């Protein structure tokens, strides 16, 4: 019988192979202005899924996240804000 610790280790190895990739840069239009965002593929997938669930385009969701980010007293970069928004929604 496999112990949870060994099972967790094997899951972590599988995740490492599948999810740990360098960031991918994509262009997004926010309020008529094109910008590039670098996110790891896992976060791009999560962002697309969130936009689909909200029935909106990825660029529209990014614009909402950007508007929230700018209101912060110490706004993070846009890529960081997207990651935080996605993780906070889990």
Distance between CA atoms of residues 78 and 68, nearest Å: 10
**pLDDT over 90 percentage in the chain:** 74
Q: The pTM is what?
A: 0.80
Q: Where in the chain are the domains?
A: 22-88
- Please report the pLDDT score of residue 16 as a whole number: 62
CATH H-level superfamily of 22-88: protein bp1543 (1.10.3990.20)
Contacts by 61-65, CB closer than 8 A, 24 or more apart: 62/28, 62/30, 62/37, 63/30, 63/31
pLDDT in tens, 22-39: 999 999 999 899 999 999
């Amino acid at each position: 019988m496999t112990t949870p610790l060994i099972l967790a280790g094997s899951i972590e190895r599988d995740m490492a192979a599948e999810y740990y990739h360098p960031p991918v840069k994509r262009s997004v239009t926010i309020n008529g202005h094109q910008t590039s965002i670098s996110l790891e593929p896992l976060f791009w997938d999560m962002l697309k899924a969130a936009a689909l669930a909200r029935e909106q385009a990825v660029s529209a969701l990014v614009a909402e996240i950007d508007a929230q980010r700018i209101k912060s007293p110490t706004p993070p970069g846009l890529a960081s804000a997207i990651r935080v928004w996605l993780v906070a929604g889990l």
